[in-house]
Structure 1
Amino acid sequence: MFQYRKVLEMRSDGFSLRSIRAATGHSRQKITEVIRLAEKKEVTPPLTDEMTDKWLEEFLYPEKTMEGSGYRPIDFEYIHKELGKKNVTLTLLHHEYEAQCRAENAIPYAYRSFIRHYRKYAEKHKATMRIKRKPGEILEVDWAGSTGSLIDRDTGEKVKVYVFVATFPSSQLSYVEGFLSMNLTSWITAHRNAYHYFGGVSEVLVPDNLKTGVQENTRKQLVLNPTYKDMANHYGTFVMPARVKYPKDKASVEGSVRTISTWIIAAMRHTQCFTLKEWNDVAKEKLEEFNHRDFTKREGSRWSAFLEEEKSYLSPLPPTPYQMSEWLTAKVQPDYHISVKSQFYSVPYEYISQQVDVRVTDHLIEVFYNHMRIASHSRLYGKYGRQSTSRDHMPENHKLYTDQTPQNAIAWAKGIGRSTLQVVELILKNAAVERQGVQSIFTLKKVLRKHTKYELEKACQTVLDVTKRPTVSLVKTALKNNQKQKKEEQMEKAVDKLTQNHGFTRGANYYGGRLNDE
């Protein structure tokens, strides 16, 4: 048997091909082929005890174990590579393998045999090679353990810069940004800028269990920070925090953090920056150099691998970037308003005394009850106690009151008649303040609950005949007098009707009398 193990170990120790040939007796061509194949499959010493010559032969030449069977050989390298792509399964690959066999009039392996041979290959393959993540599936994020620094212009002291790192496990493309704190605002801003840099969104987001993003992560329950969850929903990604004390759950970003600590943070140790923007501008240059640097064990760079293998699998960015928000709770007061940051916002009056959730952004206030949005307002700033009230949130009697404006009052009076319009205009003109006049007209409107528009118009005409300073009291008095006069007229008509003789006139002959002789 070929001495695979000895060949690889001698090559690792620096022996030439001629020396290896002399020691093993194998041809130089075969030795070169084995060495290249081992490098391609990333099998390098030190080798484990289980990696015997037979094991290495099966791993390097898996097709040899299938020769002589009469079946078409399986291209295990192709299968393993394709499985790394999104939504590709062994069932699909076996279906394609069968189709290729039919086209070549070859005998295909049954599905169970196909799976068995691949698993046997994969056990060795996974034991010796780095397992690739599916492109675009996961984005790992974390704060770097090392910090950068900038110089305070006033004191000359060094100020810490906390470094955010995001990495795609498949292509190893990374994003870096510095912040002066590791609070929630910095955390959300870093994600938003990272997505913009990548030009897309991964299916899954894997952060550490820091309190700004994850409130609780146990086997039974996962509770995310509401703002972090809201951001993930905005970008259509799913947050799956790494398990506590399991750094391998985000091994790619852990590795990138170490590399970035060297090539970006440490490389900037002699650079003097006085503002965070200056620090990030330099870091951006270092990041581009890092992402475009050639790989040592494969062709291309992180950037080229991202463009070729990963970017097409990312979900598109939403039309607008996520807007930073804060979540609060509030109780709806009897006046159907809630207090947020010393300002007041209305909600539908049906929710009085209920507890509601409030999402606060720089420009918007959104109110939720049982995860259903019930109100939204533009955010108020400035003087304490300002109000934003929606008419749709009011009870009907409140709507009637708020509808009272001089313009509405005049429009209403026009619908009644000319005299009513003149009365309304005089009341508004003679009022000490506008609100007083509007309130008077609001009271005047109520008379229509008991009287008709015709009666109101007639009463206004009566008042105008006697004064040019009409009041609501005078109009009500006129209505009462007109109504009283109307009743008196009705009584007179009734009496007249009763006193009229509507019978037949009977002559003397009817009672037995005689008529005078002519």
Structure 2
Amino acid sequence: MRQLRQMLRLAGSGTSSREIAVVLGIARSTVQDNLQRAAAVGLSWPLPGELTDDALANKLFTRNGVKQGTRRRVEPNWADLAVELKKPGVTLLILWEEYRGSHPEGYGYSRFCELFRGFEQRLSPTMRQEHAAGDKVFVDYSGKKIPIVDRKTGEIREAEIFVAVLGASSFTYAEATWTQTLPDWIGSHVRMFRFFAGVPRLIVPDNLKSGVSRASFYDPEINRSYGMMASHYGVGVLPARPKRPRDKSKVENGVRFAQSAILGRLRNQTFFSLAEANAAISQALDRINDHVMRRLGVSRRQLFESIERTALASLPVEDYEFAEWRLVRVSTDYHVEFKSFFYSVPHSLIRQQVDLRATARTIEIFHRGKRVAVHQRRYGGPRHGTDPDHMPSSHRRYAEWTPDRFRRWGASIGPQTEGLVIAILASRPHPEQGFRTCLGVLRLFRDIERNRAEAVSARAVEIGGLNCKSIASLLANHKAARHSTEPTAVVDHANLRGPDYFH
């Protein structure tokens, strides 16, 4: 109306239609049409002071009291067009051509687009966004949590609510998890894809640390484990820009709707396990997805089945198995550490950086993309898991030492020597500390007769000489005694008091 008043003012001052069109930046034919309308109802500049914009519009654009424009010609069903526009490759131009094919006297393209945009403005923000079918899924956690009661202790623990919304159909998935940590975050995605029975082109997460290691407006850094999950499903990850809520308004609205439809309806129920809570959430999801949207006249599930299911990519044969990736450095003992346990790699990689992949069952180590080691994951027992093939040859020999092996060696000589080995190992705080002593005894007994070794072993145990020095001394004394011509014992002598002396 402000432009119309300007048009009438310029015309009243004698400016031509061509010049008015140049000044106002509109078509000359538009200027002429509006001036003719004004002349037909007897309006000229200056306009009456009490003439409002609404009154001016009624005078110029109504015929017999009926407003001209939106109802003069046959209109399409705008809700159906909004649904059609979500299908891949469909544009407003295509829809307008189909409309004019059915109604040759219908609106021109510009008016058609204007009316459609007006219809869009009346939709909720969730519906108003333009998302192609199968293009994006928006994921986030609800700010609200669901309480779960321990049946035995009565302790209340709050669970997170994961929400995912497909862009085109607004088909919604939600579930409860204990945390927002990486295993729960990725596990929720795996179950989400299974629920959708397909994979969209992109995931749009918020900048949660489990998904995005470093938030950036231009170059966000995706968490390695999250990226591997995305690679397994062949889906891209496009994080919402920091401080740009419009990037994820789809899921924001979905979260608000889920909070009212899920938490609002379940607020009076008590749950004693995560499984119970998720069973109730599943029922609430059915209500959400089967609810008929007022403006479009269809439900989220109907939209999903009609336009989005076929646009999703197929699921891989197997679900993704959660794996945590870490960049680690090989220590000087050719082991890498994960969760306080140590796993060996080939000794040639000492001080090299390697990639560690940890699943619930296995630990895999990669160097330059090649797997160099695999171990069963440890949760208890010995802290070191060592593959003998990873050791240098000098270490490999020592790694084969065990208490049972030394006992078997002692038993192969005789029971006294086996007893000596057992005594040596038992005398140390850790049996491994006696391995070198046992090796020294083995070297001392290598070239002597079995009977002599047994005698020395028995004497060593008797006097507590449980080291190599004592056993070597006993061997030397035993040898000297064997070669001596003197009696080995004196039975009667004047200097000996005898047993009677003590009675």
The two structures have a TM-score, normalised by structure 2, of: 0.57
Q: Paired residue for 1:144, among 142, 145, 149?
A: 142
Q: Which residue of 2 aligns with 1:305?
A: 303
Instruction: Describe the superposition over 1:370-396 as per-residue Cα deviations: whole angstroms up to 9, x where unpaired.
Output: 4554322221332133424163x4556
Q: Which residue of 2 aligns with 1:324?
A: 322
1:193 aligns with 2:230: no
- Structure 1: where are the runs of 5+ without partners? 2-19, 44-76, 98-103, 105-116, 405-425, 444-466, 470-518
Tell me the distance in 2 between the aligned counterparts of 1:140 and 1:313: 16
> Which amino acid in structure 1 is aligned with residue 239 of structure 2?
P
Q: Where in structure 2 are the equivalents of 1:487-498 lying within 5 Å?
A: none
* Secondary structure of the structure 1 residue equivalent to 2:175: strand
Tell me the distance in 1 between the aligned counterparts of 2:114 and 2:294: 25
The answer to whether the 8 A contact 2:217-2:242 is kept is no
Tell me the distance in 2 between the aligned counterparts of 1:218 and 1:342: 33
**How much does 1:364 deviate?**
1.2
Tell me the distance in 2 between the aligned counterparts of 1:25 and 1:197: 50
**How much does 1:171 deviate?**
1.0
1:176 aligns with 2:174: yes
**How much does 1:229 deviate?**
1.8
> Which amino acid in structure 2 is aligned with residue 349 of structure 1?
H
Q: Which residue of 2 aligns with 1:246?
A: 244
Q: Which residue of 1 aligns with 2:289?
A: 291
Tell me the distance in 1 between the aligned counterparts of 2:110 and 2:362: 55
Q: Where in structure 2 are the equivalents of 1:88-487 lying within 5 Å?
A: 88=89, 125-126=116-117, 128-129=119-120, 130-154=128-152, 156=154, 158-389=156-387, 391=389, 393-394=390-391
Instruction: Describe the superposition over 1:234-289 as per-residue Cα deviations: whole angstroms up to 9, x where unpaired.
Output: 22211111011211112211111111111111011111222221111111111112
Provide closer, same or farther for how the CA distance between residues 281 and 122 of structure 1 changes in structure 2, counting only shifts above 3 A: same
Provide closer, same or farther for how the CA distance between residues 126 and 358 of structure 1 changes in structure 2, counting only shifts above 3 A: farther
Provide closer, same or farther for how the CA distance between residues 387 and 160 of structure 1 changes in structure 2, counting only shifts above 3 A: closer
Tell me the distance in 2 between the aligned counterparts of 1:195 and 1:261: 21
* Secondary structure of the structure 2 residue equivalent to 1:146: coil
Instruction: Describe the superposition over 1:434-484 as per-residue Cα deviations: whole angstroms up to 9, x where unpaired.
Output: 999xx9xxx9xxxxxxxxxxxxxxxxxxxxxxx999xxxxxxxxxxxxxxx
- Structure 2: where are the runs of 5+ without partners? 1-32, 34-61, 102-107, 121-127, 402-408, 422-434, 444-448, 452-503
Root-mean-square deviation (CA, aligned residues, Å) is 4.5
Tell me the distance in 1 between the aligned counterparts of 2:302 and 2:388: 54
The answer to whether the 8 A contact 1:176-1:283 is kept is yes
> Which amino acid in structure 1 is aligned with residue 258 of structure 2?
I
> Which amino acid in structure 1 is aligned with residue 183 of structure 2?
T
The answer to whether the 8 A contact 2:330-2:353 is kept is yes
Provide closer, same or farther for how the CA distance between residues 260 and 398 of structure 1 changes in structure 2, counting only shifts above 3 A: same
1:41 aligns with 2:83: no
Q: Which residue of 2 aligns with 1:478?
A: none
The answer to whether the 8 A contact 1:204-1:237 is kept is yes
Q: Where in structure 2 are the equivalents of 1:25-36 lying within 5 Å?
A: 34=74
**How much does 1:157 deviate?**
5.7
Provide closer, same or farther for how the CA distance between residues 355 and 293 of structure 1 changes in structure 2, counting only shifts above 3 A: same
The answer to whether the 8 A contact 1:151-1:157 is kept is yes
Tell me the distance in 2 between the aligned counterparts of 1:179 and 1:274: 14
> Which amino acid in structure 1 is aligned with residue 192 of structure 2?
A
Instruction: Describe the superposition over 1:309-335 as per-residue Cα deviations: whole angstroms up to 9, x where unpaired.
Output: 112222222222222233334332344
**How much does 1:175 deviate?**
0.4
Tell me the distance in 1 between the aligned counterparts of 2:382 and 2:399: 22
Provide closer, same or farther for how the CA distance between residues 119 and 320 of structure 1 changes in structure 2, counting only shifts above 3 A: farther
Tell me the distance in 2 between the aligned counterparts of 1:300 and 1:293: 8
**How much does 1:355 deviate?**
2.6
Tell me the distance in 2 between the aligned counterparts of 1:324 and 1:386: 24
**How much does 1:141 deviate?**
0.2
Provide closer, same or farther for how the CA distance between residues 131 and 382 of structure 1 changes in structure 2, counting only shifts above 3 A: closer
The answer to whether the 8 A contact 1:227-1:327 is kept is yes
Tell me the distance in 2 between the aligned counterparts of 1:344 and 1:206: 37
Q: Which residue of 1 aligns with 2:66?
A: 24
Tell me the distance in 2 between the aligned counterparts of 1:207 and 1:177: 16
Tell me the distance in 2 between the aligned counterparts of 1:81 and 1:175: 20
Tell me the distance in 2 between the aligned counterparts of 1:315 and 1:25: 49
> Which amino acid in structure 2 is aligned with residue 24 of structure 1?
V
Tell me the distance in 2 between the aligned counterparts of 1:253 and 1:334: 49
**How much does 1:232 deviate?**
1.4
The worse-fitting range, judged by mean Cα deviation, of 248-257 and 341-350 is: 341-350
Provide closer, same or farther for how the CA distance between residues 301 and 153 of structure 1 changes in structure 2, counting only shifts above 3 A: same
The answer to whether the 8 A contact 2:79-2:297 is kept is no
**How much does 1:223 deviate?**
1.3
Task: Indicate the structure whose relative CO is greater, using CA pairs within 8 Å and at least 6 residues apart.
Answer: 2
> Which amino acid in structure 2 is aligned with residue 360 of structure 1?
A
Tell me the distance in 1 between the aligned counterparts of 2:371 and 2:346: 11
Tell me the distance in 2 between the aligned counterparts of 1:374 and 1:123: 63
The answer to whether the 8 A contact 1:342-1:384 is kept is no
* Secondary structure of the structure 2 residue equivalent to 1:153: coil
**How much does 1:365 deviate?**
0.8
Tell me the distance in 2 between the aligned counterparts of 1:279 and 1:137: 30
* Secondary structure of the structure 1 residue equivalent to 2:144: strand
**How much does 1:352 deviate?**
1.2
Provide closer, same or farther for how the CA distance between residues 375 and 178 of structure 1 changes in structure 2, counting only shifts above 3 A: same
The answer to whether the 8 A contact 2:361-2:377 is kept is yes
Provide closer, same or farther for how the CA distance between residues 217 and 128 of structure 1 changes in structure 2, counting only shifts above 3 A: farther
The two structures have a TM-score, normalised by structure 1, of: 0.56
